[in-house]
Amino acid sequence: MLPEPLPQIDIVIIGINVQHYLADCITSIRACDYPQELLNIIYVDGGSRDKSVAIASAAGIQIIELSHPSPTPGRGRNAGMAAATAPYIQFLDADTLMQRDWLKTALARFDDTIVAVCGKRSERRPDLNIYHRIASVEWFYEQGPCRYFGGDFLAKRLPLVAAGGFDELLVAGEEPDLSCRLRQQGWVIWRIAADMTLHDLNMTRFGQYWRRAFRSGHAYAEVGIRYLNSPEKLWRRELVRISLSAALPLLLILLGLLMGRPALALIAALVITLKPLTRIAATMGRCHTGFSGALAYALHASFVIYPQFFGIVRYLLSPLLGPVVNRRA
C-alpha cells in the first residue's frame, strides 16, 4: 500500500563520461508517474572529461563533482547520500532509464522491516551482441527477501547512513557489502518482479568483457575474505567455486603432461570447464530466454572464471603490488 501522503525522494545518479546517457536518464525520471515536486535529482560526477557536467547543468539538477584519483561507485553514492535530505533515496547509474511506474510500485512494498526494494534491470539492446545477451541473463535474480541489491534500488535513507554507507575503497562489490551490513542489523532487502530500469551495457570488445570479469573476481576476493569469519560468510562459496573451477583444469592438464597422459587430462579438464553447458535447459526456464541466450550464458560461465580468478589473485597480491586503481562509477 502506498504511503499517504507520498514521501519526498532524492534520486542519486552517478557517472563518469556519460554524455551519451545522462540526458535520457534525467528525462526518464521526469517522465515517471510521481509528483515531480517531490523529487530532487542529484548527479554525482566522478571526473568526466566529456560534456556530462554541462548536460546536468543544463537540466537544472543538483551537481556534485568528485575530485579523487579513484572515484569509486561507493564514493559517488556516498556523496549523493550526504547531500540528500528526503526519507527515501533512489540510486541509479547514469546509463540506465528508470521505468515510469517504478517509484510507486517499489514504495508500496515497504514496511517497518524492509530497508530497500529492488526490481528487474533489463538490457536496452539485448540482441546487440553476445555480451549483451549474457548480461540479459545475468540480470535475473531471486525474488522476495534477497541477499543484496545492485546499483539501482530504492531505500530508506537513515538506515543507510546509520550503517556507514558504501565502502569507498571497494573497486566493486560495494552494494553487497552494504547490504550484508544492513541485514546484520536486522533489516530486510526485497526484490520484486516489477520492471525497475533499462540498462545499456555498451560492451563491444573482449577487453571490456575481461576487465568487467576481472573486477568482479577482485570483488569476490575482497568482500569474501572480509566476511570469512562472519556467520553468513558472504561470497565464500563464490570465491571457492571460482578458484577451484579455474585452477583444477589447469592442474589436471599439468598432471597429465607429467604422467604422460595429456589427452586424458585434457578431456577431464574440458568436462569440468564445460559443465555449465549441462544447465542450458534450466537457464532457459529460469531466465525466460531462448536457446541462443542460454547457450551464450553457458559459454560465458565456462570461461568467465579465468579473468575472475586473475582478479582474485590480483587482490591477494595487493600487499606487494598496491591496490587496484578504479575509474568506474
Beta strands of the chain (E only): which ranges? 9-15, 39-45, 62-65, 88-93, 96-98, 114-123, 144-145, 153-156, 188-199
CA distance 221 to 240: 9
Beta strands of 151-253 (E only): which ranges? 153-156, 188-199
CA distance 131 to 127: 9
Chain length of the chain: 329
Alpha-carbon torsion (83, 38, 144, 97), positive or negative: negative
Fold of 9-204: Spore Coat Polysaccharide Biosynthesis Protein SpsA; Chain A (3.90.550)
Closest by CA to 183, choosing from 152, 146, 225, is 146
> For the chain, which residues make up each domain, given as ranges?
9-204, 236-318
The pLDDT tens digits along the chain (329 residues) read: 888 899 999 999 999 999 999 999 999 999 999 999 999 999 999 999 999 999 999 999 999 999 888 889 999 999 999 999 999 999 999 999 999 999 999 999 999 999 999 999 999 999 999 999 999 998 888 899 999 999 999 999 999 999 999 999 998 899 999 999 999 999 999 999 999 999 999 999 999 999 999 999 999 999 999 999 888 899 999 999 999 999 999 899 898 888 888 888 888 888 888 999 999 999 898 888 889 889 999 999 999 999 999 999 999 999 888 877 654 44
pTM, two decimal places:
0.91
